[in-house]
Amino acid sequence: MLVRTIYLEHKRVRSSDEIHSSQIYFDNLRPLERTREKTGVVYSPAAALNFCTVNTRSIKNKTGEFSDYISSSVDLCAVTETWLKNDDDAIRCECEPNSYKFHDQHREGRIGGGTGLLCKAPLKATKIAANQSQSFESSEWIVTGPNINIRATVVYRPPALFPIGSFLDEFSDYLECTISYKEPLIITGDFNIHVDDVSDRDACKFKDVLTSFGLQQHVTEHTHHSGHTLDLFIRRDCDNLLLSTPEVTHFISDHAFVHCNLTLPKPQFERRSIFYRQYKSIDIDSFRRDIELSPLGTIPSGAEDRSRNPLELDNLVDIYNTTLQELLNKHAPVKT
Residue 209 pLDDT exceeds 80: yes
Dist. CA 288–CA 291, nearest whole Å: 5
pLDDT tens string 23-79: 555 455 555 443 333 334 556 777 899 999 999 999 999 999 999 999 988 999 999
pLDDT tens string 228-251: 999 999 999 999 999 999 999 999
Instruction: Kindly report whether the global pTM for this prediction surpasses the value 0.85.
Output: no
pLDDT tens string 137-152: 999 999 999 999 999 9
User: What Å distances lie between residue 206 and 152, 165, 216, 231, CA to CA?
Assistant: 20, 9, 11, 14
pLDDT tens string 311-320: 577 888 888 8
Q: Are 170 and 133 in contact (CB under 8 A)?
A: yes
Minimal CA–CA distance to 140: which of 90, 74, 91, 185? 185
Residue 199 pLDDT exceeds 70: yes
